[in-house]
Structure 1
C-alpha cells in the first residue's frame, strides 16, 4: 500500500514537545505509548546521574523516544515524497516509527549506568564467586528493548487480537521492527523483515553504517537544550538534503555534498557532549557511586533470599521483572531502614550530601608504551616514591583511584565522515565518500583521545588534613604526568 497523502490528513493525537513542537502520532503509536512498558520510561533519566551535576538534565527516556519516533516519520516521509521510486509503503512508515518509539524500552535504572556499569560488575562478581553465570557476555539494552516490545505486542493482542491487522501490520512487520531496533550489522543480507532493496530503512533508527540516525538527532538537540550546551548541528537542514542512493550494490541514505560540514558538526557535537557532560569528571564519579550502590543492594534488596543471589541484575531475565526496574530504586534504597541495605544507603547519602571523591587531576594519554591496565600500577609507584613537601602529610596509594576515559567522534580512531556517502546536485543518484579537498582544512588529524583521571577517595576526615593531602596529591600527579605523558 503506497504512502499516499490522505494517510497524513487523518486527525492524529498531537504531543507538544519543547524540541520539535507539535508532533502528530499515529493512533497505533499512542496505544503503545499507553502501555505500562512504555510509561515506565517516564521514570528513567535520559542522562543517568548527570542531573546531579547539571540541574536541567532531568529529562527522561519517555520524551526522547517520542522525539525519535517523530523524526523517524519525518525522514521516511521526506524520502517517500522526493523518491517515489523507492516504493515506501504505509507499513514501512509505521514500522520505522514504532522502532523509533520503542528503541529505548530496554534501558535500566539511570540509563547507561545499568548496562554499562551495573551488569558488567554483577557478572564479574558472579565469576569471582564461581556462581552460575546467566548474564550474557555482552548484554546491551537493545536486547531488552526487543523483549519489552514483544511484551507490548502480546498485551495489545490480548486486548484486541486484530489491533495490528487494523493498521496493516503482520508478523513479518513485527520482525522488521525488532530488526530495526537492533540495526543492520552484517555485510551479508540475513534479515527477514524486509528485502535488501529496503536496506536504507535499517539506517534510520540505529545506523550501524556510520552512526547518522534520528536517535542521535533527537538526543543531541534534547540533551543540549537541557544541559545548556550550544548545538551547532542542524538536523532540520540535513533532513532537507537526504536521499537514497545505491552504493556498492546496496541502497544507503546519503546527503548532499555541500552538507559535509554540517555532518561533521554532528560528529563534533557528539564529542563535545561527551567531553563536557557525558564524561564530565564529577558526573563519572557520581555514576560510579550509583553503580556501586546498586551492586551493594543487588544481593540484599529482597529479604529472605540466599546471599549469593543478585536480584537487581537478575531482572534482565524477563521483561515482566525488568518492567518494574526504574530510577525509583534510588529512593527505595534511600528511604529504607533495613540493615541489609545500609552500605548502599550510605553511598547514596554521600552522593546527596556531596561527600564525593576529590578530583586530583586529568591528563591526555600520549605515551603509547603505557597500557591502560598498567596506569594504576605506575600511579601507585609514583605515590610510593613521592617525597612530600609537607612533613605532616603522607600519601597512600590505596587512597586514590585511577580512571581512563575514551573520547571519540563515534568510530574510535577513525574519521567517521569517511563512512558517509554524498551526492552532488548534478548527479543526485550517484553517491560516494567525500574527498579530502572538499572538507575544511581545520578538521582534526586525530578523532579520538584517552584521558587519565585521578581521584582522592577519602572525604570523611579532618578538612584541613584533606586539603593538605589534596595539594600534595596534585603535585604528585603533576610529577607523574610529566614523567609518563610528556606534560609540559
Structure 2
C-alpha cells in the first residue's frame, strides 16, 4: 500500500505540475518566446533580439541611449493587427529618433475618437504596420519569375513605408485644411515627410548607419520618391517602376498604406470589414503594359476582391471618417484654430537669430513643426492667454457635447466636391446666412469618391487603372462600362451630400426660414452646374 501511495503521489505531482505550466502558457502565450519586455517611450512594445534566442536585451537607460548601440540584429514588435512585426536594424535606428517618436502623439484618425471612443490609435503604429506590409509584398514579389529585387531596394521600400507619414500635422487632415484656409497655400504632408526624413538622418547622425547598409545619397533620393510615389531618373540606380506602386500608388490608390489603415482603423472603430491582406498577397504579380513599363497587377481571380476594397474604403468614409458628427466636430475645431490670434507664436533660433512663427507658419520651420502634435488641443483648453480665449470656448463646447446645430442635410447630384466654383458659391451662402442671423454658418460637403490616389481630381475612376492577368498570361484592365455600379458601389456613395451647420441654436421660425433659403440656393446651384 505504501508503494502504491508513493507512486500515486509521484504521478499526481507530475500531473499537477503539467497542468500548472499549461495554465501559465494559456494565460500569457507571448511569454513562451519573450523573456523580457523592453519599453520604448510612453507606450511599450515587446522587443526581442533574434541573435539571443528571442531574449530581449537590457532595459538600462545607458544602453538604450548610448550612441554605440548596435543595430546589427532584427527586432520584433508585437502588434494587434499583424502579430509579430519584423523590424530591420536600420528601421529600428529610425524608429528610435525624436522625429519618428513624435508620431505617438498624432492620432491616426484625427477627431474621430469623439464619436468612436476606441479610435485613439496613432500614426506611430500605423507606420510600423506599413513598413511590415512592405516587407511582405517584397517577399511575395520575389517569387515572380525573373524578379530581381536587391536587399538594398527591399530596405528602401521598408524605410519609405516607415517614414511616409512623418509630415502629418495634428488632427490628421484637418490641419492641412486649416493651413490652406488660413494661407491659401496647399499643405502636402508627403513633401513635409521627405524634408523630415533628411532632417532625421542629419540630426541623429545616422548617415554612417545608412551607409553601412548600402544606402547612399542616391538611395535616399529613391526612398523619398517612393514616399511621393513618383518614379524619377537616377545616375546609377535602375529601380523597377512597380516599386513606386507599393507604398504610394498614384495609378489607382491600391497600396499598402491604404490596406494598413483599413485593417487598423476598422479594428479600432469596431466596424466589421475584411480587407484580407492575405488574399491580396496570393494574387499580386508584376506585369508589363504595352509600353514595357512594369506595374503591380493581380491574378484575374482577384477581381471581386479588388472591387471589395474600394467598397470597404467607401464604407469606412461613410460610417467613420466622414460621419456627420465627425464633420460637425471638425468644423468646430477648424473654427477654434482660425480664432487663434496672431500673437500666439513660437520662437525658434535660426543662425543665431530668433524668429517667431504664427501657428499656421510652424510648418515652415522643421524645429517648430516637430512641436505640433494633438497636444495642441489641450494647450488651447488649459491656456490662460487672451490670444486663445475665443478658441478655448469652442474647444470646451466640443468636450461638453454642445456641438453646432445641423440646419440642413441634402443631396447635390452630379456635382464634384472639389469644384472651385461650387466651393465659392457655398462660401457666399455661408456669408449671407451668417450676416442675416448673426451666427456662424458653415457648409460642408461629403462625397465618397472611389478615387484613391492623392490626385483624386485627376483619377476619377481608379478601377480603370488596375491591371489583371489571367492563366494565359493575357494582361487586361476591367471594362468599367460593362459593370453595373449598383453591384459594387453603394447608392449613398454616388452623390455629394451637403451639410449646413450653425454655431448657435436658432429659434424654430428662423430655422425654418434658413432651411428654405438653403433649399432655394441648392436648386439654383444645381441649375447652374
Contact 2:110 2:173 in 1 (8 A): yes
Pairs within 5 Å for 1:135-146? 137-146=185-194
The match for 1:96 among 130, 153, 157 is 157
Aligned to 1:239: 281
Contact 1:298 1:310 in 2 (8 A): no
Q: Does 1:401 align with 2:442?
A: yes
- Inter-partner Cα distance in structure 2 for 1:100 and 1:245: 22
Q: Does 1:434 align with 2:478?
A: yes
- Inter-partner Cα distance in structure 2 for 1:89 and 1:484: 55
Q: Does 1:60 align with 2:122?
A: yes
Contact 2:468 2:477 in 1 (8 A): yes
Structure 2 gap segments, 5+ residues each = 1-50, 55-71, 349-355
3-state secondary structure, aligned to 1:452 = strand
Contact 1:50 1:277 in 2 (8 A): yes
**Deviation (angstroms), 1:176:** 0.7
The match for 1:286 among 326, 329, 339 is 329
Aligned to 1:392: none
Aligned to 1:133: none
- Inter-partner Cα distance in structure 2 for 1:444 and 1:336: 46
Q: How many pairs were matched up? A: 440
3-state secondary structure, aligned to 1:355 = coil
The match for 1:171 among 209, 217, 222 is 217
Q: TM-score, normalised by structure 1?
A: 0.81
Pairs within 5 Å for 1:207-286? 207-247=249-289, 248-286=291-329
Q: Name the structure, 1 or 2, with higher relative contact order (CA <8 Å, separation 6+).
A: 1
**Deviation (angstroms), 1:304:** 9.7
- Inter-partner Cα distance in structure 2 for 1:226 and 1:54: 8
Q: How large is the RMSD of aligned CA atoms in angstroms? A: 3.3
3-state secondary structure, aligned to 2:170 = coil
3-state secondary structure, aligned to 1:240 = helix
- Inter-partner Cα distance in structure 1 for 2:429 and 2:368: 44
3-state secondary structure, aligned to 1:342 = helix
Cα shift readout 1:325-371 (whole Å, capped 9, x = no counterpart): 11111111211111221111112111111222111232221276994
Compared with structure 1, are the counterparts of its residues 473 and 437 closer, same or farther at alpha carbon in structure 2 (3 Å cutoff)?
closer
Which stretches of structure 1, 4 residues or longer, exceed 6 Å deviation after superposition? 367-370, 378-381, 478-486
Q: Does 1:338 align with 2:385?
A: yes
Contact 1:293 1:348 in 2 (8 A): yes
3-state secondary structure, aligned to 2:381 = helix
Compared with structure 1, are the counterparts of its residues 120 and 408 closer, same or farther at alpha carbon in structure 2 (3 Å cutoff)?
same
**Deviation (angstroms), 1:437:** 8.8
Aligned to 1:111: 172
Q: TM-score, normalised by structure 2?
A: 0.75
Structure 1 gap segments, 5+ residues each = 1-5, 125-136, 385-394, 460-464
Contact 1:113 1:291 in 2 (8 A): yes
Compared with structure 1, are the counterparts of its residues 11 and 81 closer, same or farther at alpha carbon in structure 2 (3 Å cutoff)?
farther
Aligned to 2:9: none
**Deviation (angstroms), 1:172:** 1.3
- Inter-partner Cα distance in structure 2 for 1:339 and 1:436: 56
Q: Does 1:19 align with 2:84?
A: no
Aligned to 1:47: 109
Aligned to 2:245: 203
The match for 1:153 among 198, 201, 204 is 201
The match for 2:135 among 67, 73, 79 is 73
**Deviation (angstroms), 1:471:** 6.1
Compared with structure 1, are the counterparts of its residues 378 and 182 closer, same or farther at alpha carbon in structure 2 (3 Å cutoff)?
closer
Contact 2:409 2:497 in 1 (8 A): yes
3-state secondary structure, aligned to 2:142 = helix
**Deviation (angstroms), 1:281:** 1.5
Contact 1:49 1:110 in 2 (8 A): yes
- Inter-partner Cα distance in structure 2 for 1:319 and 1:484: 42
3-state secondary structure, aligned to 1:300 = coil
The match for 1:425 among 459, 471, 479 is 471
The structure number with the bigger radius of gyration is 2
Pairs within 5 Å for 1:356-371? 356-366=403-413, 371=422
**Deviation (angstroms), 1:81:** 2.7
**Deviation (angstroms), 1:444:** 4.6
Aligned to 1:316: 363
Compared with structure 1, are the counterparts of its residues 485 and 162 closer, same or farther at alpha carbon in structure 2 (3 Å cutoff)?
closer
3-state secondary structure, aligned to 1:157 = coil
